Amino acid sequence: MPEFRKVVLYTTEDGRAAWREESINLDQGQPQAMLSVLMPCDGVQLRQSPVGFRSAFHCTGTPQWVFILSGIMEIGLQDGSVRRFVPGEHFYSADHLPAGAVFDPNVHGHWSRQAGPDPLQTLFVRA
């Protein structure tokens, strides 16, 4: 059965952001166009970030798919790792602040930045 690889930014038990991959079955539709089940969403939003943009560490408030439309996006984690996404790639951002925790920029969340010579354009689909 065909699958879609979902790249997920999530929160570990110790409150830190991390990456994992999950499979979404493409078991709907027809052999010429296999589909996943229909997933609900709460709206879409487009964003453009200028050359030089970089956020501070933060957590995702509401889980959302992030699709890179143009430019390059980098996501940095507290462990110093950086993952780069180019047009056509995606990730599901769901690294939330653990219940009862007070945000600590030295422990929680991730940062994002525009990389390369072109502005970054992204599509957010809230889950």
Q: Domain range spanning residue 15?
A: 3-126
**Residue where the block lists tokens 């959302």:** 64
User: pLDDT value at position 98?
Assistant: 92
Confidence of residue 1 (pLDDT cuts 50, 70, 90): confident
What is the C-alpha to C-alpha distance for residues 126 and 72, in angstroms, rounded to an integer?
21
What is the C-alpha to C-alpha distance for residues 99 and 63, in angstroms, rounded to an integer?
15
If residue 123 lies in a helix (H) or strand (E), which one and from where to where?
Answer: strand 120-126
Indicate the number of domains in the chain.
1
Threshold 0.85, pTM exceeds? yes
- 64: tokens are 């959302």
CATH number reported for the structural domain that contains residue 111 in this entry: 2.60.120.10
Confidence of residue 56 (pLDDT cuts 50, 70, 90): very high
What is the C-alpha to C-alpha distance for residues 108 and 11, in angstroms, rounded to an integer?
9
Contacts of 73 (CB under 8 A, 6+ apart): 66, 84, 85, 112, 113, 114, 115, 120, 122
Q: Decide: helix, strand or coil at residue 91.
A: strand
pLDDT in tens, 60-113: 999 999 999 999 999 999 999 999 999 999 999 999 999 999 999 999 999 999
